[in-house]
Each structure stands twice: as structure tokens, then as C-alpha cells.
Structure 1
Amino acid sequence: MEACHKLVLLRHGESNYTRDNLFCGFGNDADLSDLGEKEAAVAGQRMLEAGLSFDIAFTSVLKRAVKTLYLVQEELDCHWLPVVKTWRLNERHYGALQGLSKTETAKKYGEQQVKIWRRSYDVRPPPLDKDDSRFCGNIAPYRDFDPTIIPVCESLKDTVERMLPAWHDVIAPDVKAGKRVLIVAHGNSLRGLMKYLKQLSDQEIIRLEIPQGLPLVIELDEDLHPVRDYYLASEEDVKVAKTKVGVKDNVN
């Protein structure tokens, strides 16, 4: 297969919820931590050094992804870049776990149960009641949504199904048209896209880690099938970053 297109994925930098060991996800509009801002800037520098430039960028409506993209634009000096924000690229919804301490939740339910909620493909965490103050259906940017489509919890499978229309309807047509596309999103929405593109099994996707702040370049053929993919980082940097993600997920 011959590569015809290039797509770049970037998981946002560390959030203050991750720093504080709290469940975040779809319903928490967490900001970047100081480290997360540095990770975003370094990601932009890596893209600049690799000679990458873009015609359009896609991100979620969550602050940590939007800010990461902004800091990348700072490094690339491309604030003119058209940006499309869509809730379909949001992080997975962790239901009633969102905002809770990961350590305390593991003590309450047991580490094994919490690991199942976090790392299985089709098991949902406990749902969030729509009367709960943490339900995001009454706040911007979801206030005008049909309340039936706003999740109260999601498995990774749910996240993939929610994310794919954005790929099929909006992003893929731009890639096929030859546009240089950057997607800045979240661990699970990006894992979902990788599952689809690489046709990973339900078991294989569980083992896939996408580290924070390391640009992932995917070269695609004319039918948008991956030819190869690689991080703009040394093997050691990728290994260390993936280990950090793995450690967090084991606690989650």
C-alpha cells in the first residue's frame, strides 16, 4: 500500500484532574495543569521540527483539548487555522465516578472493579442521575441538545459509537480531499478512532495506550487504511509516556 494522506492525532496535556488523581471525562471541563501546558507546547515544537503544517484542526468542546490545540498553534504560528469543535470528540463519560478521587473509589469498590470499569471495552461505570448537579445537560455547550443524546455514562464501546459520525461525516472527507488534518482530543476518543482505522479487536484496544502530549502521525492510503503510524518522539520517550498512562489506568 502506498501512503497518500497524513493524519496527526494528539492527546491533550495533563489536566488538573489527572494531576489531583480525580476521575474526569465528558462531564468535567477540567483545565490543563502547568505540566499539561508544557506538554502541549512541546508537542507543537515537535511538529514544527518535523516540518508539519495543517489546513484544518478538529478538537472536542472540552477546555483541556481546546487549550492544547491553542498552545500547539502558538508554536506553529498558525492561529489562522480553521478549527472545528465537536462534542463527539469529547472524552468518555465516567458517569457517577466523575469528579471522585480515584484512590478513594478504588478503596470503596475494590481496585479490580474500578479497573474493569476503566479498562474493559463494553462495561459501563455507574450512571449519573440527570438530577445530579454534575449532569452537564443544563450547561453550555449542551443546553440546546436533545437530552436523550447526552450520556450519563459510557463504556469505551459507547465512546467509539458516539465518535465515529464525526470521523465519517466531517473529518474523513477532509482527509480524502487532501487536507492536512490535526485532531486534538482525548485518550478514549482517540483510542476509539485508532480501533476503527486499524481494525483492532475488542481485546487489542484494551491494551492500546495513547500517551499525553506526543503527536501520533498516521500515514493512510487512498481508502484511508493505515500504512504506518509513528510518534514524533524517541522510543524511550514513548515508552516512558506509555508507562505513565498505564500506571494511571491501573489505579483508575
Structure 2
Amino acid sequence: MLKYIISSFLFLSTLIGFAQNENVIVVDSVSTDTIATEKIEVKEYKQRYGLRVGIDLSKPIRSIFDDEYRGLEIVGDFRVSHNFYIAGELGNEEKTTQEDNFNFTTSGSYIKLGFDWNTYENWYGMENIINLGVRFGLSTFDQTLNEYQVYTPNQFWNYEDLNYGEDMLGTYSNLNAQWAEVVLGLKVELIRNIFLSGSVRLNFLINETEANQFPNLYIPGFNKVTDGSRFGVGYNYAISYLIPIFKSNKPQKNKTPKVEEN
């Protein structure tokens, strides 16, 4: 999985470089026989501020190929300043997991809210993003234990005589979890107002409520919970549309090179 995430980031980085190269502006130097001068031309161009809304493509695609999974996530952000964005995700997941001694289904919804900071300085007219961000996540969900077997190293007993834990089978409701995420992502404008994005996330579980009989082994939005660790990982690939609301000017300085006297 890590290999695919890294490959996707390299692909998106290539797109950014290609988009920048397509928009190179060549400035011819002006020769002169007079005293060396430096001319500074100040330009202003309007940057778009608005709401960007989209869908995580990885979850519908996974739902098609994995019969044990159903998921949908809506992503969005709103530009507050030149490099600062309020961002969030809203989603729903249902996943059935088969382990060695039990089978369970997790179903629930989640919301993530936070911000992104664009660390990439675009060339004139470009609005691509390499962002670092933080999210706070909240999930409410149910866990249904479908099958359960008590492990025993003593093979003397017949399986028919063992208690398979039927009293533990059933649905455990009103469970919840809260966590924090550190986000590293890319957004590339493919065509006007259409962005392709990808991100990887490092999650830290802050708090959770779980059933006494059965632990939370999967949390919607957080993903797999590892025994003995509060850390998790996640990713998404999204396509989104920017709804421009207003534009703001940003000064841009272009310098012509000094010309020495002959």
C-alpha cells in the first residue's frame, strides 16, 4: 500500500511540474548603452477565493472491487488567506473483517475538521497546492460480531463440545472515537476549476468508547486499530471542483536583469 501512495505522490508532483512548464513567461532583456539600471515592474493578478468540494475516489473504487466494503467520503476546503485553508471531510463506511477466530462488521459515519497550509509558491497564475494540515476526527459507529470461536491449544476436546461464544454474538451500538491527524497532500488543477488531489495521513487515537465484550478493531474514518498502539494511517485520492466566490489581488514583482555600460 505504501508503494502505491508514494507512486501517486510522484505522479502528482510530475503534473505540477508539467503545468508550471506550460506557463513559463519569457522576458527579453533590454540592452542599453547608458548607465546600468534595474527596472522593477509590479503586477497584480487576481487569485480565486472560494469553496472547493469533491469526492474521495478511492472509496467508491474499493467498493466496486471489495464485496466486504462500502464507503463514501465528501471532501472540501475554503480558502481564508493566501496560503491558509479551512478543510474537512465527511464520510460513511461499512466494512466486514475476517480474522482467525472471528468475523465482524463495522458500520458508521465520521467527520474531520481542521486546516491546510500551502507550502508551495506558485508561478504567476497557478494555484496548485502542496499542503501540510491538521484534522480532528470524530466517528460514531456500531460493531456487529458475526462469528466467534474460542481458541484452545488442547486438541483433545471435540469442536462440537466447545463453547463458541454464541452469547457474545450481536451488535454493539453507540460506540464512538476521537482522533487527530497530520496530513500531507497535493492538489493539482487539471483544467479550470477542476482539481485532482491525494493525501496521506498519520492518525493518533485520542479517546474511544468500546463494548466490554469486544474491542474496536476498525473505526470508520480512522481505519484499522492496531493492538497496543494508538497510531493509524490513512489516505485518499479525490477530485474536486472550485466554486469561486470572490477574487483578491496579490502583488507580483518581476525584475529585469542589470545591463552594464559598454
Structures share fold, TM-score greater than 0.5: no
Structure showing the higher helix proportion among its residues: 1
| Larger fraction in strand | 2
**TM-score computed with the length of structure 1 as normaliser:** 0.26
Q: Which has the larger radius of gyration?
A: 2
